[in-house]
Amino acid sequence: TPVYADVDPLTLLLDPVQAEAAISAATRAIIITHLYGNMADMTAFRALAERYQLALIEDCSQAHGASRADRPAGSWGDIGIFSFYPTKNLAALGDGGALVCQDSALAATLRELRQYGWQEKYTVQRPFGINSRLDALQAAILSAKLPYLEADN
């Protein structure tokens, strides 16, 4: 069951003090949403995640190209999630997204889940897999837009 915490009124991003107050024995992860091209206080959230042994998940859908302490959005958490929906900072023409992580075993599992749960073609390893690959047209559009990301932000 999600538990919500308030935002910092100056940044409009999740407040680490409020987030820590919401942590309980049932808490398994902290989900941070970066907004408006700005990142939350990831030094504080990384410390919280380590202190309480929680997963740290970054929603980077509105922070493509953002960085904090010389680290890009998506590199602070256990998982970083990016959306390429047409209203996002880096947009394709339809639905699409990317997920980044540094854990190779988790990355392998997530690759299986994004393609029907297959480990190899037509061999289902993960029963809840779906077709969620980014198609070639969306990838081409994003590749053409990527060099302009910093200027557009």
pLDDT digits (tens, 9 = 90+) for 103-121: 999 998 888 777 766 677 7
Residue 31 scores a pLDDT above 80: yes
Query: Tokens 């010389």 appear where?
Result: 70
> What is residue 130's predicted lDDT score, i.e. its pLDDT?
67
pLDDT in tens, 60-96: 999 999 999 999 999 999 999 999 999 998 999 988 8
The pLDDT value given to residue 147 = 94
Residue 94 CA: distances (Å) to CA of 9, 39, 84, 138: 33, 25, 8, 7
3-state secondary structure 54-96: CEEEEECCCCCCCEECCEECCCCCCEEEEECCCCCCCCCCCCC
pLDDT confidence of residue 116: 63
Mean pLDDT value of segment 22-43: 96
Kindly state the percentage of the chain with pLDDT values over 90.
72
pLDDT at 125 over 90: no
**151 band by pLDDT with thresholds 50, 70 and 90:** confident
pLDDT value of position 112 = 78
The pLDDT of residue 135 is: 87
Task: Return d(Cα 16, Cα 14) in angstroms, integer.
Answer: 6
Question: What CATH number was assigned to the domain covering residues 16-148?
Answer: 3.40.640.10
Give pLDDT, residue 153: 75
Please determine, for residue 1, whether its predicted confidence score (pLDDT) is greater than 90: no
